[in-house]
Amino acid sequence: MKHAFLTGLLCLLALGMRPAPALIYQVDLKEEVNSVSWLQIKKGFAAAAQDSAATILIHMNTYGGEVLYADSIRTLILNTQRPVCVFIDPNAASAGALISIACDKIFMRPGATIGASTVVNQTGAAAPDKYQSYMRGMMRATAEAKGRDPRIAEAMVDPDVAVAGVVDTGKVLTLTAEEALQLSYCDAIIESIPEIVSQQLGYQQYELKHYTFSRRDRMKGHLMGSAFRAILIMIIIAGIWFELQSPGIGFPTLAAVVAAVLYFAPLYFDGLADYWEIILFFAGVVCLLLEIFVIPGFGVAGILGIVAMITGLSFALIDNRLLPSGEFPYLELGEALLLVIFSVAVAVALCLWLSSRVGKGQGLFRRLALETSQDRKEGFVAVPADELASMTGKTGVAATVLRPGGKVRIEGQVYDAVAEFGYIESEQAVRVTRSEAGQLYVRAI
């Protein structure tokens, strides 16, 4: 009986000394590389660190996406202290190839492919060589950091790069699983994740934890997306535009402020936007307002205001940690500038079109315009056109500030007037140059 007791005690001690199973964290990347997938990877890596995971495994199937977020994921992987592996099942194209090369080990399912990382614009055409050069540099640096042939990584971007026995010039490189295995761009061709963990990583006792991306975080990712950012920029520009067309402060200002907060706040809390970019944007708005309401004409302040606004909006989209680095982030800044300038151009075009439609047609546009008629029996009296025409050459004073529209006083009578050049202050002497459309045009004397 004593022997049985000792045997049982030894068994319990052995069980207590058995090492805990290794924790393998699986994070999926099975959609376009964008703000949503970036947030999913970022959150997944943070959860893996909190749970002290032994290895992070990215389950990938993507045709690429935005280089800005692909570079953010790449940087996160390179700076992660624990091993990161990727299982390509079955696509790692474009931005997906960049992310895969950053991983410590690459596993591919039979029939999988990796490569084709040429930078393209929104129309699908290849971007200028400046952007291709920066992408080549990123691919080369990433491959070198992981001990892989950098020329092969470059050939995935540039059709002018030839690798003897692999690819000739004129073709962008895409590798099959077998080709990648031969060129050390794949560590093993495998069928499933459990086989990777047990056969390739060597864990016999392990726990596979699949990171679940919440709906709330997914919504947050969409709010950080480029399409939503473009809409916010349009609302900001449209709000400023329409507020300048009406007296006082109203709904357009509120819409512009809310859009600006939604634009900068997520970027600031995510570490992309810095305080100087936000200050620069609002300083640009102030310069633009000063140009319109205070400084006559349109000159330095207005131009500086527009440049400051575009600069603030653009630099808020790129990671400030890239600026002090040895190579300037032309690719990220180019994409950000393209997004901002395109959004501003579309916003201005829409504002011009909407302004031309107000008061015309039926429905909403008709209701936006004031249609009350100024009837003679209600005391409204129009100035005869021949009387206005006879006033050309006469002098008077500005009854109000002309910016450029306002009123002037000539021979004791007040008339609507427009300044021909710049702004005219109140009580400044003016001369009538012509009359048109029921109002006078004047110049300061």
pTM of the full structure: 0.64
The model's confidence at residue 16, banded by pLDDT at 50, 70 and 90, is low
| Phi-psi group of 243: left, alpha or beta (phi > 0 → left; psi -120 to 50 → alpha; rest → beta) | alpha
The per-residue DSSP string of 387-409 comes to: HHHTTTT-EEEESS-BSSEEEEE
CA distances from 267 to 80, 145, 264, 285, 297 (A): 22, 29, 5, 20, 35
CB 293 within 8 A of CB 247: no
Q: What is the per-residue pLDDT across 330-388, written as a single tens digit (0 to 9) for each?
A: 667 777 888 888 888 888 888 888 776 655 555 554 555 455 555 555 544 455 666 77
Regarding beta strands 105-108 and 188-189, do their DSSP bridges make them parallel or antiparallel, or are they unpaired? parallel
90 phi, psi to nearest 5 deg: -115, 5
Domain C-terminal end among 164, 180, 215: 215
- Mean per-residue pLDDT over the chain, rounded: 82
**CATH number of 161's domain:** 3.90.226.10
Same domain, residue pair 25 and 134: yes
CATH of the domain at 427: 2.40.50.140
Residue type at position 401: V
Residues 188 and 111 in one domain: yes
Query: 303 and 419: one domain?
Result: no
**Contact present, 332 and 322 (Cβ < 8 Å):** yes
d(CA 381, CA 414): 13
**Lowest-confidence pick of 57-61, 169-173, 266-270, 439-443:** 266-270
CB 22 within 8 A of CB 55: yes
* Domain count within the chain: 3
Q: Picking from 111-120, 368-377, 378-387, 413-422, which range would have the lowest pLDDT averaged per residue?
A: 368-377
User: In terms of residue numbers, what domain contains 155?
Assistant: 19-215
What number is the average pLDDT over the span 143-158?
Answer: 94
Output the pLDDT for position 321: 61
Least confident piece of the model among 121-125, 224-228, 315-319: 121-125
Q: Answer whether the bond into residue 90 is a cis peptide, omega within 30°.
A: yes
For residue 158, give both structure tokens: 């540039």
Q: pLDDT tens across 252-308, in order?
A: 888 888 888 888 887 777 666 788 888 999 998 888 878 766 765 557 787 888 888
Between residues 3 and 333, which one has the greater pLDDT? 333
| C-alpha–C-alpha distance, residues 124 and 149, integer Å | 28
Query: Quick one: pLDDT band at residue 156, thresholds 50, 70, 90?
Result: very high
Same domain for 344 and 414: no
When pLDDT is averaged across residues 207-217 and rounded to a whole number, the result is 86
**CB-facing half-sphere around the CA of 331: CA atoms within 13 A:** 25
Share of the chain above pLDDT 90, in %: 31
Bridge partners, 60 (sequence order): 29, 88
